[in-house]
């Protein structure tokens, strides 16, 4: 079953067409990676799915529901950005619970969710610290936790690891993979320009160029049978 469906989506910024008649089906529980160079439209596409940008044309469906004109908060999505964007004056617990409080969720339910997310991400012992007292990797876990407490069935990640050093990147890659396995039936759409990240995380990879998808397939197929020179060059296959 499709979790997210993109139908003929185009987006213009002024006279510039950034997404070009794009179609994509992401299956329930799938880990889909959007891979492509800087400027090809990855973040724009993710922001359209999240509802942070309006499409110029086309439609977006989540779990079969047409969400094209729905508010971000109604779409059942959790989003993790490249920059941590934590509230510096709040504790980790405050950061995790802030969005839920704003929604008016009962206190007991908030506590339950914060505890669960903190356990999964192994930040239980950091709940009373402020962001300035955390390492980069810990901060990024809190950022993931903020998406996790929403109990969404679709998670969008926009280059969540690109500000971290190589060692932390590979550690958190394993964490994110584990998180996906643990949260059964949760769909993840993960944007990166890093080929290794794409190859290790993805069930399928969508290779983007100039606001369109060039090839959509599992990592082995992309590597062994790229549809054109661009894909071959990007994924670094000799063939």
| CA–CA dist 198, 204 (Å, integer) | 9
Q: How many residues bind Mg ion (CB under 5 A)?
A: 1
Nearer to Mg ion, 173 or 193 (CB): 193
13's contact among Mg ion, ligand ADP, none, with CB below 5 to 8 A by partner kind, is: ligand ADP
Using CB under 5 A as the binding rule, whether residue 44 contacts Mg ion is answered as: no
In this chain, which stretch among 23-31, 40-48, 92-100, 117-125 interacts with ligand ADP, using CB under 6 A? Answer: 40-48
Answer yes or no whether residue 42 interacts with ligand ADP by CB under 6 A.
yes
Q: Which stretch binds Mg ion (CB under 5 A): 39-47, 104-112, 128-136, 174-182?
A: 39-47
Q: Is residue 141 a contact point for ligand ADP (CB under 6 A)? A: no
Q: Is 140 in the site for ligand ADP (CB under 6 A)?
A: no
Q: Which is nearer to ligand ADP, 38 or 182 (CB)?
A: 38
Among 4, 6, 9, 18, binds ligand ADP (CB under 6 A): 18
Instruction: Work out what residue 192 binds among Mg ion, ligand ADP, none; the CB cut-off runs from 5 to 8 Å by kind.
Output: none
Q: Would you count residue 97 as binding Mg ion (CB under 5 A)?
A: no
Residue 39 engages ligand ADP in binding (rule: CB under 6 A): yes
**DSSP states of the chain as a string?**
-EEEEEEEEEEEETTEEEEEEEEEEEETT-EEEEE--TTSSHHHHHHHHHTSS--SEEEEEETTEE-TTS-GGGS-EEEE-SS----TTS-HHHHHHHHHHHTT--HHHHHHHHHHHHHHHT-GGGTTS-GGGS-HHHHHHHHHHHHHTTT-SEEEEESTTTTS-HHHHHHHHHHHHHHHHHSTT-EEEEEES-HHHHHHH-SEEEEEETTEEEEEE-HHHHHHS-SSHHHHHHHT---
Sites of contact with ligand ADP (CB under 6 A): 13, 18, 36, 38-44
Which residues sit at the interface with Mg ion, rule CB under 5 A? 43
């Amino acid at each position: 079953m499709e979790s997210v469906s993109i139908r003929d989506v185009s987006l213009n910024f002024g006279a510039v067409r950034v997404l070009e008649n794009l179609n994509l089906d992401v299956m329930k529980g799938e880990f889909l990676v959007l891979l492509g160079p800087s400027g090809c439209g990855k973040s724009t596409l993710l922001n359209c799915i999240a509802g942070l940008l309006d499409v110029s044309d086309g439609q977006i469906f989540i779990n079969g529901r047409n969400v094209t004109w729905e508010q971000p908060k109604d779409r059942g999505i959790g989003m993790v950005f490249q920059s941590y964007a934590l509230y510096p004056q709040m504790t980790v617990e405050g950061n995790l619970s802030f969005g839920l409080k704003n929604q008016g969720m009962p206190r007991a339910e908030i506590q339950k969710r914060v505890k669960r997310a903190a356990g999964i991400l192994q930040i239980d012992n950091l709940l009373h610290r402020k962001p300035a007292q955390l390492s980069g990797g810990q901060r990024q876990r809190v950022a993931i936790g903020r998406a996790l407490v929403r109990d969404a069935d679709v998670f969008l990640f926009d280059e969540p690891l690109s500000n971290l050093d190589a060692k932390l990147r590979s550690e958190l890659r394993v964490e994110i993979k584990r998180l996906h396995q643990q949260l059964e039936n949760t769909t993840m759409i993960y944007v990166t320009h890093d080929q290794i990240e794409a190859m290790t995380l993805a069930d399928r990879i969508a290779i983007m160029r100039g606001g369109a998808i060039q090839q959509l397939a599992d990592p082995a197929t992309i590597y062994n049978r790229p549809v054109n020179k661009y894909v071959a060059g990007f994924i670094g296959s000799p063939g």
